[in-house]
Chain A
Amino acid sequence: MFEDRYRKYHQKIRPSDALNRETLALMQEAQDHRASEPERGFRWRPAYTVALAGAAAALLALSLTAGFWFSRGAQYIEESGDLDTVVSGGSADRENAADVPETSGGATGAEDGATSEEQPEAAPPEEEGNGESGGEEAPSGGSDSDETAPSGGDSGGSAESDPETPTDSEPEKPSAGEEPEEPADPRDPVIINDDETRTYTTIRAFLDDLKNKKTEGYGTHYYTARELIIVPSLLPDNARFRHFYLYPQTGRYAYSYLFTAEGVDYLLDIKVDASSASTLKELNQQKEAIQEEKVLTKFSGNQMMVLFGTSDLVTVSLTAVGSDQELTREQVSALLEQFALERCSLTNTIVDLTY
């Protein structure tokens, strides 16, 4: 049988004794060598370093990315979601509210107060944005400003026409159980904290707010867009700054003054619809352009429209307070001659102006 032959043939095939001795010596030597080596445990390898460095880099990249988007998100929320309610209408307005008696028509208006008892409340400016002024957000509402001006109760002649659109931020009326407060002077500034409008009772407050926004990282876009602000450079001596409204969503702003001429109180509303520079480059271009820009003035009814350059339009409305008398063009011209507008740089000139 093949199997038997094969087995028989290979049975005698064995390693030699010399080979076995040599193999045994090699095994002992190898074992002794291994015994002298340190015990195999954890050994740091270059691959571990590479893996650790890679993991650290990945973690760092993730952290930076997350931080970046988190900050962007926070900034976005601040600019969009909370822009009007928290940032703009919050502390700044409350601070400004404290300035009201000193800076606005409040104190002086009370002194002048010929018509103070006739107007229980002043209408908020946002009403005009929804009213006849064509949906614009500016408070002084163009030709319809007799109905929609911030002090519409004053100029429109009746407080009854306005209560239908009170805002949440209007001063609360005293309840029956409370002590009746002194009737508000119609020339007192109306503090408005709503989603559409910021209210400043002084230009200074407005500027401070802008400066604060800058320091808070609010964004240079917002700041530089209004660096070239159009403000009055000439006012009647007795003009009293009343309000400054800023419309964050559109970039428009408006302000109003009270002044007295020949025994009559007048409300002057200025609405500025100026283009905004969104970048520093645009701002510099705008600064260059306005060096040679022309200013056109046009009268229409009780309004004066001033066009700066080709697109920046300022509408000035003049209404008599506490009087139904309609101003003639001559009267408007004569009154507004005491008044002039100019561009000012927020970073220098305007900051030093005091109103």
Chain B
Amino acid sequence: MELEFLNIGILSWITFLPIIGMIIVLILPKTNWNSIRWTSALFTGIQVILAVIIFINYNRTLPGVNDINSFQFVEKVNWITVQSFPWVGKIDIDYFVGIDGLSVAMVLLTALISFIAVFASWNIDKAVKGYFALLLLLDTGMMGVFVALDFFLFYVFWEVMLLPMYFLIGIWGGPRREYAAIKFFLYTLFGSVLMLLVMLALYFSVTYVDPQTGEKVHTFNMLLMMNPAHYEPNSLLAGLHTFWRYIAYIGLFIGFAIKVPIFPFHTWLPDAHVEAPTAISVILAGVLLKMGTYGLLRISYPMFPDAMVYFAVPLAILGFINIVYGAMVAMAQTDFKKLIAYSSISHMGIVILGMSALNTQGVTGAIMQMFNHGTITAMLFLIVGVIYDRAHTRGLNEFGGLANQMPKYTGVVTVAFFAALGLPGLSGFISEAFAFLGAFQVHRWITIASTLGIVLTAAYMLWTLQRVFLGTLPEKWKTLPDINGRELFTLVPLAIIVIILGIYPSPLIDLMNSSVNHLVEFVSNGAGMSMPKP
């Protein structure tokens, strides 16, 4: 299925539309706030429409993962060619994009969250033009990461995001914004330079034979990197279960783990979340964190199946630590936003635990959790934003009895909180159940221990609900207005998705099912081939 407009495929449109929007925003006069906002809304809105078109036209039976023919909406154009010399081979870098079951859910999520983020940014009142321009640039970077199938392209998109994020936190953030922004920047850059080295090592290890000239060409093509047959004998990463492959895997892992973030690389997250403006927290939790787990699925799994199997138990333990540690720290928070930030760490632990199971249920649960966490946590941050805009404080203990004062708000909050604590009937439950079910078959004790996290999550969520919404309303909050139309507009679509996917998760599961099956099979075969047989 090819969807094209002006000979440019739909994935290029969905990726680069925000850049067009950014250019228009930059041309607009800087005092005309409304036209800047509506331009951003328009372009992210078109992005959502394109995402819906992708959702409708996506062929659910094709697996993708390592097979170019079953990727969808593929575009492949030669981007950079460097001729060969006796001492260096030909270099080909392609503009190569396409989606499969691993990425399609993330593309939908990114479009949705970006659109909502524009509306959540409506009350930004300083340097509006710069804000929306950077937001749109960030949008392109995120979308690009999820569609890129060439490692070089992937890396460029991965890094393009850093700078807008730095400025979005650093200029429009809270009191400690400078510290939070630079911490985010340094952490992520540290991870990505390690990824750069692994990318280069893979590049020099993988070749394919050019069918026309018969010469060997090194490549950044991710799909070729997944095939052991393309590895040059005696190259650094050839073979399976070698020292350098483990080192390369760990290098990549640190790069992705910082983004997720996995303990002990998580310390940037609470700072960044607390200081970032609401919409940026939404994007950070909703999309950016998923890039880490997506990277593990797209790159670490199929390219290093041997290391993935070898390190499955440590990975599960890290997942357990994230779940329980995140939940325990969340429980101790008195700042509403910090609490949500730590709950986010806890929930991402479930993704890690599900992935470490290396079976269909676990990985399906992980990808579903990525999507559901994206929607649920986006809601939670929007909720914090609503109360902060009105009260200018986020102290949990300063509130009480808001349920009577802000009934509509309380209704939405209840949906989000129950979804976050995994109440059956809401989307969070399904994905957590899948992830635990998958993990239980493989890492029995770790999974059992991890379920403690669910209890803790229920505890801090309900306790928060009680502290903020029940009890007596302090005198000073008697004038708080209820949630307004714009805020409802950002929250209700997410709430609807959360409820629908809670009752009927098939639309989401169908998207990824064949890819996940294929991935799991591919990884177990890939790693199993050279495992010493007893």
Q: Please indicate whether A and B come from the same complex rather than being unrelated chains.
A: no
B residues whose Cβ falls under 8 Å from a Cβ of A = none
Q: Could you tell me which A residues sit within 8 Å of B by CB distance?
A: none
